[in-house]
Amino acid sequence: MGDENGGGSAAGGGDPVGDDPAIDEADGGVDYAGRAASILGFSRWWQIVAAAGMMAAVSPYQYVWSSIEQPLAASLDIALPALGAVFSFYVVFQSLSQFPAGKWRDSRGPGALTFLAALLAGGGYIGLAYATTVWQLYLLYSLGAIGVGVVYTVAVNTAVKWFPDRTGLTTGIGTMAFAGGSALVVPYVRANATVAEYGDVLRNVGIAILVVTLVGAYLLRDPPEDWLGLADREDDDGDEGLAASLRGRAYTTREMLSTWQFWLLYAMFVAMAGADLIVIANVVRFAEQFGLAAVVATAAATLLPVAAGVSRMILGEASDRFDRKKVMAASFVLAGVFRLALIGAGRAEAGIAFVALVMAAMFFSSPLFVYFPSVIADYYGARNSSGNYAVLYTAKVGGGVFAGTVTGYLVAAFGWVPTFALGGGLAIAAGLAALVLRPPSGSGLESEAATPTD
């Protein structure tokens, strides 16, 4: 850590944990690593480590649900369809909590807010171990979901605020932890997913969530406003997109809502969240529907978050290095194609192919949680990124309602195959829509959109 603690000089080098060498400011660049080190006293990558740890800790709310719903239903003596609304409640509260949390964080920092999130997320899961009625389950999961939402918006926008030069990679690391962290929990839960054992499982997971998020709340902090000193710069040397993002192209939420690009992004987010969550919430039951062996369902549920997590870092880095819009478009179209292929593998009762296609489908759809915050920062600036992305993230409510309540209705009316096929179609439509995106007028990036490569 001490190697980077040398102030803002280019000679001080980059982050020892992976930053590119600092750029000489005399050449028009910005020494991001050095300036961050002079503020923090240590490498800015430790902010990503803390954020990623918190994301991994709260991930069971989303990725372990399909493994605990059956023992919960048996314990409470209710039908499984009655629990479908729990996942919808989770998505609603996890999504809607992010806007007020993001606005608070942008103006007051992450400390107290993240401490509250730790109590909600950890306490919610611990409380599930003692729930005796359906309404208690709804309440506890919803309170926990608010904590998850706060952690999510704080973690994602920590990457945006400290890494304007590597937004795709660093948001990818955080959201990778959100997906991949639960891979350690799923086998533990599946091995003890009985009425007799699940109470201890839920309590232990809740304690782990509480401890890790409290540590993260202590470590996280935000950079001061205009920490890179670009507010008054008039030159266009160096990285034009990054400089513009920090030089006044900071849209307020109201200004962002007045652009057509935001509403296209919103529709794309609804479609992709629906396609993504329908697999996450139903992969175990979908495998069972085709009569696949229990080991196939367990493997799919375990490897799904691994594929989702790894993809966020790999494709997040790709979106930094190449045209982000084109990477996003190709990724979403492939996500849809692999979802359609998943149906064929299930019908053929090909267990290995089924697991492989679940991983492929999630590999290309899960980076939606990297692409969208990065595009919001690209188009609307980093200064108000927490609040602005939180507004876009409310689109996940539509995806969650589709994956939970609407999916239950569609399965009852038409069956699993048409329902999963619809998810594939939504992903392909979102990928094609991405090709229409252009930077908003007045963003300072219009010239990039006019180039022949766009």
Q: What is the pTM of this model?
A: 0.66
Residue 2 belongs to a domain: no
Question: For residue 341, which of 333, 257, 288 has the smallest C-alpha distance?
Answer: 333
- Looking at the domain assignment, is residue 451 inside a domain? no
CA pseudo-torsion sign 304, 306, 307, 313: positive
Please tell me the distance from the alpha carbon of residue 40 to that of residue 223, in angstroms, as a whole number: 8
Q: How far apart are CA 417 and CA 286, in angstroms?
A: 9
Residues in the chain: 454
Sign of the alpha-carbon dihedral angle for 327, 330, 332, 338: negative
Asked whether residue 337 is domain-assigned, the answer is yes
Rounded CA-CA distance 157/63 in Å is 22
What is the domain count for the chain? 1
Report the alpha-carbon distance of residue 170 to residue 211 in Å, rounded: 23
Domain of residue 341 covers 44-440
Q: What percentage of the chain's residues is helix, strand, coil (to nearest 5)?
A: 75, 0, 25
Residue with tokens 């595009």: 375
> Does residue 152 sit within a domain?
yes
Q: Determine the Cα–Cα distance for residues 241 and 39; give it in Å rounded to an integer.
A: 24
The one-letter amino acid code at 228 reads L
Structural domain includes residue 10: no
CB atoms within 10 A of CB 264: 16
CATH number reported for the structural domain that contains residue 144 in this entry: 1.20.1250.20
How far is residue 271's CA from residue 398's CA, in Å, rounded to a whole number?
Answer: 8
Q: Tell me the HSE value of 381 on the side-chain side, using a 13 A CA sphere.
A: 24
Q: How far is CA 290 from CA 258, 283, 293, 339, 346, in A?
A: 46, 11, 9, 15, 6
For residue 154, being part of any structural domain is answered with yes
Query: Is 24 among the domain residues?
Result: no
Q: Is residue 447 part of a domain?
A: no
Please name which of 212, 341, 358, 181 lies closest in space to residue 281, comparing C-alpha atoms: 358
pLDDT in tens, the chain (454 residues): 333 333 333 333 334 344 443 333 333 456 777 777 777 777 788 888 888 888 888 888 877 776 777 777 777 777 666 676 787 788 788 888 888 887 787 777 787 888 899 999 999 888 888 877 778 888 888 899 999 989 988 888 787 777 877 777 777 787 778 766 777 777 777 777 665 667 778 888 889 899 999 988 888 887 777 666 654 444 444 444 444 444 346 788 888 888 898 999 999 998 888 888 777 777 777 777 777 767 777 788 777 777 877 888 788 888 888 888 899 999 999 999 998 888 888 777 777 888 888 889 889 988 888 888 888 888 887 677 777 888 888 887 777 676 666 766 776 677 777 877 888 898 999 999 999 888 887 655 554 444 433 3
